[in-house]
Amino acid sequence: MQSQCKSSSPHSSNFRVSLFRSGEMVRLFLTLSPAISRFNIYPGISILATNPSLRLQKHHQLKTKTPAFSLIPPSSSPNFQRTPSNSTGTRTFSSPKSGNSSFGDNLVVLGIETSCDDTAAAVVRGNGEVLSQVISSQADLLAQYGGVAPKQAEEAHSRVIDKVVQDALDRANLSEKDLSAVAVTIGPGLSLCLRVGVRKARRVAGEFNLPMVGVHHMEAHALVARLVEQELSFPFMALLISGGHNLLVLAHKLGQYTQLGTTVDDAIGEAFDKTAKWLGLDMRRSGGPAVEELALEGDAKSVKFNVPMKNHKDCNFSYAGLKTQVRLAIEAKDIDCKHPLSSATNEDRRNRADIAASFQRVAVLHLEEKCERAIDWALELEPSIKHMVVSGGVASNKYVRLRLNNIVKNKELKLVCPPPSLCTDNGVMVAWTGLEHFRVGRYDPPPPAIEPEDYVYDLRPRWPLGEEYAKGRSDARSMRTARIHPSLTSIIRADSLQQQTQT
């Protein structure tokens, strides 16, 4: 059942009512405009009720009131804007089944991920069942450019996005009509690339009248661990290591994170990628796996690299200096990256393997040292922590897992590392994170079925996950803070406070 009508409120604001059914549920959206929410041009009241009798409840009777993610910025600006404090966040959510732990098991969410160089989509059920997972990687482009080139990556996403999403639905044996919501990464990442995924997600959601959830890419890396490890409950710690991020966070609850440490310059994945490129390795699977493989042949103590930030008693990272050390070692051994490894002499190959192994050892030692300290800090803040999640592309590295497992075990915690296919970028993590937020009522109502071509999307290329822990601030920190979006945690916290003051 789908219906929509337009009407006018007594205060001459327009509103739109959308009814739509998913599984056992019928949703009703009352969408007000102009923007009255802090983050949303389509703030709405959504009420969930069981089919067939749609139960409308009065505002104050609704069980939870939570802010939604917005994919749509205030029309005056493409960037985040604070609206006056007397504005009302009116997205609410209620279900006759809430309070029951199995609530949401039958929800089915499509997740779309295009923040970097992988075009990924997946369909996941609320009970954690992965119905499908499809990824199209830009292997040839990576090899050609030795890294991600935004314009070429955008074009590659645009070429395959429709097919990837269609394949995900086909493999799940579902059509769009069977979905409960669409989740999509809105940041952080490359704007050009994020836009392709968000546009596609809005088209699907608009055409089939589905709610949307805007997902934080790094939160998705962390939360996918809850899909694989049923026991993993909040609070927990997470080390998120990818091509662009090196984050140590304490996850208090869904959407609320304290950032214990981050990188002051490059992330570890970037250092793996550059090392692979300078060593002349095959970049088609990205640099990390190539370095990991070659490192198995090398002597990890043969090249002396310094562990970064030894004297900084914090939980921050730096990989730019280690990259330079690697480059100098490669130059000193006369290694020519234009000569592929396959045509190297035995000695040349051994030199390359020694550098790969020595780099990997020191890069991971840096992780180990900072993780040890971060666990101590986290246990002071939240003594009930039992788990440490390690996720993101670099967490698929076996040596990384082995070494961090020792650290975590010594601190009497349990390591949770998703399988490699869920550590590197994927649609499952986006769908799952979408589900987690959708279940507690954080979502946006369906976008209009037809949207202008020049529509300005709310993309968040630089979007911190959590609030910085004061003790963890680094003097060495880069001052590049321009155009950073307020953190996910601050947005959710501010809205919760606002909602509380209104009840």
**Which residues contribute to the site for Zn ion (CB under 5 A)?**
242, 425
Residue 78 carries which DSSP code?
Answer: S
Judged by CB under 6 A, the residue of 126, 287, 298, 472 near ligand KG4 is 287
Instruction: Give the ranges where 7-88 is alpha helix by DSSP (H).
Output: none
Is residue 211 within 8 A of residue 445, CB to CB? The reply is yes
DSSP string, 339-361: S-GGG--HHHHHHHHHHHHHHHH
Q: Is 397 a residue that touches ligand KG4 (CB under 6 A)?
A: yes
Which residue lies nearer to ligand KG4 by CB, 292 or 444? Answer: 292
Which residue lies nearer to Zn ion by CB, 218 or 355? Answer: 218
Report the partner that residue 90 touches, choosing among Zn ion, ligand KG4, none (CB closer than 5 to 8 A by kind): none
**Beta carbon of residue 396, minimum distance to ligand KG4 (angstroms, whole number):** 5
**Beta carbon of residue 206, minimum distance to ligand KG4 (angstroms, whole number):** 27
Residue 93 carries which DSSP code?
Answer: E
Q: Is 187 a residue that touches ligand KG4 (CB under 6 A)?
A: no
In this structure, how many other beta carbons lie within 10 angstroms of the beta carbon of residue 321? 15
**Beta carbon of residue 245, minimum distance to Zn ion (angstroms, whole number):** 7
Judged by CB under 6 A, the residue of 289, 445, 464, 472 near ligand KG4 is 289
**Beta carbon of residue 133, minimum distance to ligand KG4 (angstroms, whole number):** 14
Q: Is 319 a residue that touches ligand KG4 (CB under 6 A)?
A: no
Judged by CB under 6 A, the residue of 154, 273, 369, 458 near ligand KG4 is 273
Q: Is 447 a residue that touches ligand KG4 (CB under 6 A)?
A: no
**Beta carbon of residue 302, minimum distance to ligand KG4 (angstroms, whole number):** 20
Q: Is 317 a residue that touches ligand KG4 (CB under 6 A)?
A: no
DSSP string, 372-424: HHHHHHHHHH-TT--EEEEESGGGG-HHHHHHHHHHHHHTT-EEE---HHHHS
Report the partner that residue 292 touches, choosing among Zn ion, ligand KG4, none (CB closer than 5 to 8 A by kind): ligand KG4
Which of these segments, 13-21, 133-141, 373-381, 392-400, binds ligand KG4 (CB under 6 A)? 392-400
> In whole angstroms, what is the distance from residue 20 CA to residue 22 CA?
7
Is residue 192 within 8 A of residue 150, CB to CB? The reply is yes
Residues of this chain, 239-268, that bind ligand KG4 according to CB under 6 A: 242-244
Report the partner that residue 289 touches, choosing among ligand KG4, Zn ion, none (CB closer than 5 to 8 A by kind): ligand KG4
Report the partner that residue 46 touches, choosing among Zn ion, ligand KG4, none (CB closer than 5 to 8 A by kind): none
- Strand stretches in 141-294, DSSP E: 181-187, 212-216, 236-241, 246-253, 256-261
> In whole angstroms, what is the distance from residue 476 CA to residue 309 CA?
9
Q: Is 28 a residue that touches ligand KG4 (CB under 6 A)?
A: no
Q: Which residues pair with 249 in a beta bridge?
A: 238, 259
Report the partner that residue 67 touches, choosing among ligand KG4, Zn ion, none (CB closer than 5 to 8 A by kind): none
Sheet arrangement for strand 14-22: 2-8, 14-22, 25-33, 44-50
Which of these segments, 155-163, 204-212, 237-245, 441-449, binds ligand KG4 (CB under 6 A)? 237-245
Which of these segments, 102-110, 304-312, 388-396, 463-471, binds ligand KG4 (CB under 6 A)? 388-396
Q: Is 286 a residue that touches ligand KG4 (CB under 6 A)?
A: yes
Helix (H) / strand (E) element for 3: namely strand 2-8
Which residue lies nearer to Zn ion by CB, 180 or 242? Answer: 242
Q: Is 288 a residue that touches ligand KG4 (CB under 6 A)?
A: yes
C-alpha of 51 from chain center: 33
**Beta carbon of residue 116, minimum distance to ligand KG4 (angstroms, whole number):** 5
Is residue 355 within 8 A of residue 329, CB to CB? The reply is yes
Report the partner that residue 74 touches, choosing among Zn ion, ligand KG4, none (CB closer than 5 to 8 A by kind): none
> In whole angstroms, what is the distance from residue 232 CA to residue 224 CA?
10
**Beta carbon of residue 417, minimum distance to ligand KG4 (angstroms, whole number):** 12
Is residue 151 within 8 A of residue 193, CB to CB? The reply is no
Which of these segments, 300-308, 349-357, 386-394, 431-439, binds ligand KG4 (CB under 6 A)? 386-394
Taking alpha carbons only, the member of 290, 250, 252, 249 closest to residue 269 is: 290
Q: Is 392 a residue that touches ligand KG4 (CB under 6 A)?
A: yes
Which residue lies nearer to ligand KG4 by CB, 289 or 434? Answer: 289
**Beta carbon of residue 217, minimum distance to Zn ion (angstroms, whole number):** 6
Q: Is 424 a residue that touches ligand KG4 (CB under 6 A)?
A: yes
Say if residue 445 is preceded by a cis peptide, omega within 30 of 0: no
In this structure, how many other beta carbons lie within 10 angstroms of the beta carbon of residue 215? 30
**Pairing status of strand 181-187 against strand 212-216:** parallel
Q: Is 188 a residue that touches ligand KG4 (CB under 6 A)?
A: no
Residue 263 carries which DSSP code?
Answer: B
At position 84, the amino acid (one-letter code) is P
C-alpha of 366 from chain center: 23
Is residue 461 within 8 A of residue 231, CB to CB? The reply is no
Q: Is 116 a residue that touches ligand KG4 (CB under 6 A)?
A: yes
Residues in contact with ligand KG4 by CB under 6 A are: 116, 242-244, 269, 272-273, 286-289, 292, 392-394, 396-397, 424-425
